[in-house]
Amino acid sequence: MRELNVAVIGCGYWGPNLIRNFAEHKLTTVKYVVDLIPERLQKLSRRYPSTKFISDYELVLNDPAVDAVVIATPVQTHYPLARKALLAGKHVLVEKPMCMNSAECLDLIALAAEHKLVLMVDHTFVYNGAVRRIKQAIEGGQLGEVLYFDSVRINLGLIQNDVNVIWDLAPHDLSIMDYLVGKEPTMVHASGVSLVAGKQEELAYLSLRFDDKFIANFHVSWLSPVKIRRILVGGTQKMVVYDDLEATEKIKIYDKGVMVSTEGTEEDKYKTLVEYRVGDMLAPAYDLAEALRVEVDHFADCIINGTKPLSSGEAGLRVVKILEAANASLLSGKPELISVNEHEAAVRA
């Protein structure tokens, strides 16, 4: 099969993980790594002797041998870098969150479609074996009707200058929810505060409402003394706990639930009868492969075979729309509606 030449832009904290996975994959070669900080390039260059470590992005854009560009730079640079890559005829894998606003996302989606190029967003967790196993349980009907999604992603985190904690951490959980449940919220309520640096919110709560009873809540923080990475998905039949910090049994599926009935004898007709079901717990096996390796496999497959990306530009847009509404809600102090306008509906179609 044809080998793909990629260029990775940005080798700060996350970029080296992408470089390693693209360098180790049998279908991909890392031809270039681009960064503006020479020491970062120098440090990595010893590990990848056949890769060119450069600071001039134009060299990548002008090299016809480069098939794809992988963007791991700060979020405000995603749009201009991805736009240039698409205009130069390169496929794009861009970090989460996809862009700073939905207009930028829509422009990239339209450009990729126009030039018949793959546009994928690094929603890493949708390639994680545990998350995929939960998806299987939901699709197989094990959970029954999915009722709620509840996530906590907190630790003593690196306080960012350019984005608040919602934009930094919530894309992971929002993309997991989007993948698992496949529903788009109609309303977003965010509350948060900056308690230390006095700029971007460092601790926040996000609540999403949908056009049915399903509800999703997210707690994100850079100010917690302990690290928690836990998601609960509740269904009418079973409930799942996904703890990403567990070494082996990350998923536990509980046969627990609450049933309410108003049926009964004539006397209890007006009483609500609550029954608790406490059954077994199952810790199912799941694929242990590194999520980024699975993702690189999928990106290569999308380019070579024309497969539609799981974490497509549209998935990136759905997450950014929630983030945008969350920022609006932080400002207004009220829940904000999410709507899809005609232009957006046309681009998404």
Ligand X SMILES: NC(=O)c1ccc[n+]([C@@H]2O[C@H](COP(=O)([O-])OP(=O)(O)OC[C@H]3O[C@@H](n4cnc5c(N)ncnc54)[C@H](O)[C@@H]3O)[C@@H](O)[C@H]2O)c1
Q: Where are the alpha helices (DSSP H) in 71-164?
A: 75-87, 102-114, 129-139
Question: Do 134 and 180 touch, CB atoms closer than 8 A?
Answer: yes
* Closest residue by beta carbon to ligand X: 12
Q: Is 310 a residue that touches ligand X (CB under 6 A)?
A: no
Q: Is 244 in the site for ligand X (CB under 6 A)?
A: no
Query: How far is residue 151 from each of residues 88, 154, 230, 233, 243, measured CA to CA in Å?
Result: 39, 10, 6, 9, 10
Among 3, 24, 37, 334, binds ligand X (CB under 6 A): 37
Interaction of residue 38 with ligand X, rule CB under 6 A: no
Q: How far is the CB of 43 from ligand X (least distance, A)?
A: 11
In this chain, which stretch among 7-15, 98-106, 107-115, 137-145 interacts with ligand X, using CB under 6 A? 7-15
Alpha helices in the chain (DSSP H): 15-24, 38-45, 57-61, 75-87, 102-114, 129-139, 165-181, 291-305, 313-332, 342-348
Cα–Cα distance, 103 to 29 (Å, whole number): 32
Q: Which is nearer to ligand X, 155 or 186 (CB)?
A: 155
The mark string for 118-147 relative to ligand X (x by CB under 6 A, - otherwise) is ----x-x-----------------------
The closest alpha carbon to 103, from 346, 343, 279, belongs to: 343
Site for ligand X in 140-179 (CB under 6 A): none
Q: Whole-number minimum distance, CB 34 to ligand X, in Å?
A: 5
One of 31, 96, 229, 250 touching ligand X (CB under 6 A): 96
DSSP string, 184-234: --SEEEEEEE-SSSSSS-SEEEEEEE-SSS-EEEEEEES--SS-EEEEEEE
Selected binder of ligand X within 10, 235, 309, 313 (CB under 6 A)? 10
Task: With beta carbons less than 8 A apart as the criterion, state whether 297 and 25 touch.
Answer: yes
> Does position 104 bind ligand X by CB under 6 A?
no
Minimum CB separation of residue 307 from ligand X in Å reads 21
Does 45 participate in binding ligand X (rule CB under 6 A)?
A: no
Residues that bind ligand X (CB under 6 A): 9-15, 34-37, 40, 57, 72-75, 77, 95-96, 122, 124
